[in-house]
Structure 1
Amino acid sequence: MPKAVGIDLGTTNSVIAVMEGGQPDVIVNAEGARTTPSVVAYKGEDRLVGQIAKRQAALNPKATLFEVKRFIGRRWDEVSEEAARAPFTVKEGPGGSVRIEANGKDLAPEAVSAEVLRKLVNDASAKIGESIRDVVITVPAYFDNSQREATRQAGEIAGLNVLRVINEPTAAALAYGLNKKGNETVLVFDLGGGTFDVTILELGEGVFEVKSTAGDTHLGGADFDQRIVKWLAEEFQREHNFDLRKDPQALQRLIEASERAKIELSQATETTISLPFITFDPETRTPLHLERALTRAKFEELIGDLLRRVREPVTTALNDAKLNASQIDEVILVGGSTRVPAVKRIVRDLTGKEPNESVNPDEAVALGAAVQAGIIQGDATLGDIVLVDVTPLTLGVEVKGGMVAPLITRNTTVPAKKTEIFTTAENNQPGVEINVLQGERPMAADNKSLGRFKLEGIPPMRAGTPQIEVTFDIDANGILHVTAREKTSSKEASIRIENTTTLDKTEVDRLVREAEQNAAADKARREKVEARNNLDSLRVQALQQLEEKADAPQELKDRVKALADEAESAVRDEDDAKIADVQKRLEDALRELMTAQGSGGQGGAAGQPQQDDVIDADFKPAD
C-alpha cells in the first residue's frame, strides 16, 4: 500500500512527514531542506514554489505570493488588514470571495496553496521512491468550517486524497506523546506565522483527548514582522519624506529584513537592519539607504499589544477545560514564533512552568500529522492510538428575533451529531429557511453565517403543529452537514457547508473575544428580543383560545381580541415599554377567559404560554 503522509501547511513554512519504522520522520525537499517556504511566484509561464520563489521576491513583488493561508476560506470583507499590507494585489472576487492578482490572472487562495502542497508531495515522492496521494493536512485549531473546507479543497486541487483535516496543536501533541508512558495533562501553545492556538489535552494509555481549544486566527509571527516594517517605514519617512510602503519592491525588502531581524533578536539583544539603495530621492534621484539598530527591548515595545493578546486564549482554554495552571503537567511550544524570548516569558508567567522544548517547534505539527496518517492506514507499529478532538466554535441556527439557538456548543467532541425539534410560528406556513451559524454571540448578526437552505412543501397546519427535525452532523474533519425533515410529510432538505469562498461570513476569530467584551450589551439585547417573542407567543395562544372558547362572554372575547391586536402593534413597533404593559394585561385577560370556561391552560400556569424561539421569524423549537 502506498504510504500516507502528514503535511503542515503553514503560513510561513510548510513541512511534510511520513511514518518510518514506527516513528514519524520529516522528508526533505528537493533543495535538501526540512522546511519549505509557503511562497509561490509567477514569472511569465513559469511557476516557482518554495525557497526559489522566496529568493526572487524583491525583484518580483507583485507576483510573489506569501502568507496566503490568511486568505483561505475567507470572504473579501474579512481580510482588509492583510490585503492592505501585502506588496501584491488582493481584491474582491465573485460572490464576495478573495482573489489574488498575479501575472494577469486572478487566483483563488486555495489554488495558490495547492501549489505548495503539490511541491511538497512531488519532492517527497521522489525522495521515498513512490507516488504519494493520501495525505493528512493540518489546520489551526481555531479555523472555522469554511477555512477547513477550503484547506481540503486545496488538497483536492493539488490532486491529493485528503484523508483527514487535523488540528495543528493536536498533531503536535501526537508527536510529543507518541512514546510517552503514563498520564499527562498537556497545554500546547502554538504560535506560528499567521495564527495562534491554545489546546489542552489529556494523554494516557494511547488516548489523546482534547479537553478545550481557543485561539486567534489574526495573530502570528507575520504580525510581529509588520510592526518592525511599520517602524522602519515611519522612521525613513520622517527622515526622507518618502513612504517605502508605497513602493512594492521596497516594501518586500522591508518585510524580508524585518523577519530576519525578529529571528536574530531571539538570540541577540540588538541587531542592525541595513538596506542599501532602498529607493531614490524623488527630486535629486540620488540613492537612499536605510540603516537602523533595533534592540530586543524596542522590538518588545513595538509588539507589546500583540504579546498581550496571547494571554486571553490561554485563560479561556483553561477555563473551558475546568482546570487551573497548576494542573497542567507539560507546556509544549509549537510554531517558530514561540522562539521569541518575550513569548516564552509570557508562557512561564501564565502557567508557572518552564516550557517543554523537546519537540522541534517547526516540525512537530507535520510529525503528528504523519502519526495520524499512520493511524488511518492501520500502521501496526503504532498500536492502539485513539485521538479525540473537539469543535472550536458553537454551531446553531437563527431563531425568531435574530437570536441563535445553539445545537452543538464549542469544545464538543467530534465527530458529533445533534438533533433538535422545531416548529412553525404562523398558521399554514408552507416552508422555513434555515440559517446555519457558527460563533459564540447570542445574536445571529454577530456570528458567521455558514449557509442557508430552505425546507419547503410543509402541509397546511396550525402554528406549532409541524415537527421539524434539524440535525447537525460534524465529521472527524470538523466539517458540518445539516439536514432538516418535517416528520408528518417526510419532506427533507440538507446542506453540506462548502463552496466556502462564495458564502457570506463574518470574522470568526474575533467571535469569542467579542462575546466576552460585549456580554452586558448582548444580554440586554437578548432580553428585549425575548420580551417581544414572549408577547407574540402569548398573542398567538390568545387567538387560538378565542377560536376554542366560542361560548365565552362576548365582552371578554372582545377584550382579549383588542389586547391581541395591541400586542401585535407593540411587537411590530418594538415599543419596549408598551410590550411590558400589554404582556401583563393580556396574561390577565387570557387567564380570565380560560377560568370562565373552567378549563386549564396550555404551556404553563394560569394560561401563560410555553416560550419558544422562532427561526427566521417563522420557525421555532417545538414544545
Structure 2
Amino acid sequence: VADDGSLLVGEAARNQYALHPERSVRSIKRRMGEFTSVQMAGKDYSPQEISAMILRRLRDIAEAHLGEPVGKAVITVPAYFSDAQRQATREAGEIAGLEVVRIINEPTAAALAYESCHSGARKALVYDLGGGTFDVSVVNLESDVVEVLSSHGNNHLGGDDFDQKLISFATDHLRERHDIDVGQHPLAMARLQHAAEAAKIILSSEPYATLSEEYLLEKDGVPIHLSVEVSRNEYEEMIEPYIAETLDAVHIALSGAGLTVADINEILLVGGATRTPLVQRRLEQELGMQPRAEVDPDLCVAMGAAIQAAVIAGGQAPTVLIDVTPYTFGTSALEYFNGQMYPFCFVPLIRKNTPIPVSRSEGFCTIFDGQSKVDIHVYQGEDPDALNNIEIGRFTIEGLRDAPAGNPLVTTFSLDVNGILEVTSREKETGLVHSITIDNAISRFTGD
C-alpha cells in the first residue's frame, strides 16, 4: 500500500518494501490454503484476497495490451499443491472477478512452452525452483499431450531461502564488526532483503558480489554502513543443503513414476532460482545430462498458461521461438582430471542452448607466487579435455601484481545475438584488464 493508499503490485511493491515493510506482503503463495490472515498497513487480509490483488493487476495489464475486457483465466499452481491450496487459488481468481476456466500444474505449463515447437514421445523431468516453492515432476510428452506421471516437492523451499542465507551472512558480519543485532530493526532487515536478492542475482553470472547498503541504521548516533563481499563459492556452500534436498525429491519423483534416471530423456528448468549455477551443475552430476534452459525460467510457466488459454479459446497454439547458442564456449584451467592435476581442463562459461545475448563470468587464480602473466585460451566444444575442443582464440594478461599464488582473476565471456564473442580477463585487486573479440564465433568454427 503506497503513501496515498493506492495499491502497488510487483516491482513497485518490492521497491516500497525496503521503505515500508509494514505496508507490504511478499511470498503469499506459501500461505495459500491456510486459514490465516496477513497484515498490511494495519488491516487483515486472507491469502486469497492478497492473491486476488495480484491477479486483478495482471488482468488490468492484459486488458490494456489487448484493448478489450478479459473475464476468464487459466491459472497455474505447483503440481504439489493440495486440494485446499488449489481451491484457495480458484477463490482468489473469483475475488479478482475472473472465471477460472482451468487450473493447471506448473510443470505441465512449462512442458507446453518447451514443447510448442517439438514433436515425438519423450519423458522429461521438470525441475521447478521458484522464489517460494519447489516441485519436481516427471512428465510424459506425446502428440501434444503432457501427462504428469508423478510429483514431489516442498511448498516452503525456494529462492527466498537462498536470500535468507545471504541475510544471515550479512547480519553475522554486522554483529562481529559493529556489535549490533539488525534483527531488531525491521526497516534495516527489509533493506538487507533487497541487498541479498540483488547479490544472489549477481552471483548467478559473476564469481563475486557485494552486499551493500549505505546508512543501514545508526548506533550511538553513528551511521552504520554495510559493505561485505561474498564469493559464489561461499554462497554455494550456504545453499548446498537446499539443493541436496531438491535432488532427494527428484529421486522420490522418479521412484513414484516407476522410472530410473536412464528413462529420462531431458531435464527442463523452471523458476528463477534455477539460474543458480550450482543447481544446473548438481543436476548434471546427478542425472548425467545437461538441463535445458533455453526458455526464460521466469516466464515459461506463464507462456505455457497462455498456450493452454489459446487452445481453450479456440485459437492456434503459438510456437515459442528462442535464439540460443548451438555451442559451448569456455577456457582451460589446472584442475583434477582422471585422478591427477591437468593444466587443460575445460571450464565451460557459456553452455550450448543458452539463450543469447548472454554474459557469464568465472573466477580463476594464479598458481605460482609472483606470477606476472596468465595465458587465456578460448575454446568451443563439449569435451572435458580442452585440447579435444576447438581453440578459437587466445590472449595474455601481463603485468599482474607481485602476489602469492591464488591472486584472483575474473574472466568474462559475452556472446551477442550476432555471434560475436568478447572475452575479458581482469585482475580482481587492481582492475588490470585485457580482452579479445571473436567475430562469427557461432558459425565460423566447426570440427569433429
Counterpart secondary structure, 2:7: strand
Letter of the aligned partner of 2:168 in structure 1? K
Give runs of aligned pairs for residues 561-576 of structure 1, distance below 5 A.
none
Whole-Å separation in 1 of the counterparts to 2:42 and 2:138: 45
Q: What one-letter code is carried by the residue in structure 2 that aligns with 1:100?
A: V
Of 245, 253, 258, the match for 1:317: 253
Q: Distance in 2 between matches of 1:288 and 1:66?
A: 27
Spell out the pairing of 1:194-213 with structure 2 (5 A cutoff): 194-213=132-151
CA offsets, 1:241-271, max 9 Å, x none? 2211221110011101101111101111111
* 1:155 equivalent in structure 2: 93
For residue 214 of structure 2, give the secondary structure of its aligned residue in structure 1.
strand
Instruction: Determine which of 360, 375, 386 is the counterpart of 2:311.
Output: 375
Could you tell me how far apart the structure 1 residues matched to 2:191 and 2:164 are?
Answer: 12
> Residue 198 of structure 2 corresponds to which residue in structure 1?
260
Please state how far the C-alpha of 1:44 moved relative to its aligned partner: 4.9
* 15, 20, 31: which one aligns with 1:60: 20
Report deviation, 1:216.
Answer: 1.1
Name the counterpart of 2:221: 285
Distance 2:259 2:136 in 1: 14
Who is 1:433 aligned against? none
The answer to whether 1:328 aligns with 2:264 is: yes
C-alpha distance after superposition, 1:219-242 (max 9, x if no partner): 100000001111111221222222
Is residue 375–residue 382 contact of structure 1 (8 Å, CA) maintained in 2?
no
User: Structure 1 residue aligned with 2:281, among 317, 338, 345?
Assistant: 345
Aligned pair 1:306/2:242, yes or no?
A: yes
Counterparts of 1:241-256 in structure 2 under 5 Å?
Answer: 241-256=179-194
1:70 aligned onto 2:70: no
* Matched residue, 1:529: none
Measured at CA, do residues 238 and 200 of structure 1 come closer, stay the same or move farther in structure 2, by a change above 3 Å? same
CA separation in 2, counterparts of 1:291 and 1:256?
A: 14
**SS of the counterpart of 1:344?**
helix
Contact 1:44 1:103 (C-alpha < 8 Å) held by counterparts = no
Provide, for residues 478-516 of structure 1, a one-character-per-residue CA deviation record: whole Å limited to 9, x for no partner. xxxxxxxxxxxxxxxxxxxxxxxxxxxxxxxxxxxxxxx
CA contact (8 A) 1:190 1:334 kept: yes
Task: Tell me the secondary structure at the aligned position of residue 63 of structure 2.
Answer: helix
Relative to 1, partners in 2 of residues 1:257 and 1:380: Cα closer, same or farther, differing over 3 Å?
closer
Deviates more, 1:351-360 or 1:41-50: 41-50
- The sequence identity of aligned pairs, in percent, is 42
- Name 2:47's counterpart in structure 1: 109
Measure the CA separation in 2 of the matches of 1:136 and 1:271.
38
- Go from structure 1 to structure 2 and tell me whether the alpha carbon gap of 1:295 and 1:305 turns closer, same or farther (over 3 Å shift): same
Offset at residue 298 of structure 1 (A): 0.7
The 3-state SS of whatever aligns with 1:130 is coil
- The CA distance in 1 between the partners of 2:316 and 2:16, in whole Å, is 45
Report the TM-score when normalising by structure 1.
0.50
Q: Is the Cα–Cα contact under 8 Å of residues 70 and 194 in structure 1 kept in the other structure?
A: yes
- Provide the residue aligned with 1:128 in structure 2: 66
Task: Look up the match of 2:6.
Answer: 46
Instruction: Quote the Cα distance in structure 1 between the aligned partners of 2:119 and 2:308.
Output: 19
Q: Please point out which of 198, 207, 211 is paired with 1:269.
A: 207
3-state secondary structure, aligned to 1:135: strand
Q: Deviations over 1:368-400 (max 9, x none)?
A: 1112222323335589xxxxxxxxxxxxxxxxx
* 8 A Cα contact 2:217 2:224, kept in partner: yes
**Are the counterparts in 1 of residues 116 and 317 from structure 2 also a CA contact under 8 Å?**
no
Q: Any conservation in 1 of the 2:79–2:135 contact (CA below 8 Å)?
A: yes
Shift of residue 324, structure 1, vs aligned partner: 1.2
The C-alpha deviation readout for 1:526-552, integer Å capped at 9, x for no partner, is: xxxxxxxxxxxxxxxxxxxxxxxxxxx
Segments of structure 1 that go 5 or more residues without pairing to the other structure are 1-40, 75-96, 384-623
- Does structure 1 retain, via aligned residues, the 8 Å contact 2:152–2:250? yes
Amino acid at match of 1:341: P
Number of residue pairs aligned between Structure 1 and Structure 2: 319
Corresponding letter in the other structure for 1:229: I
TM-superposed CA distance for 1:356, in Å, is: 1.0
CA distance in structure 2 between the partners assigned to 1:382 and 1:204 by the alignment: 17
Deviations 1:267-312 (A, max 9, x none): 111111111111101xx21111111010011101111211211111
Match of 1:232 in 2: 170
Alignment of structure 1 residues 500-511 onto 2, 5 Å: none
Counterpart residue number, 2:232: 296
| CA–CA separation in structure 2 for the residues paired with 1:266 and 1:327 | 30
Change (3 A) 1:369 1:248: same
Instruction: Give how far 1:42 is off.
Output: 4.7
- 2:140 is aligned with 1:180: no
Report the structure number with the largest CA radius of gyration. Answer: 1
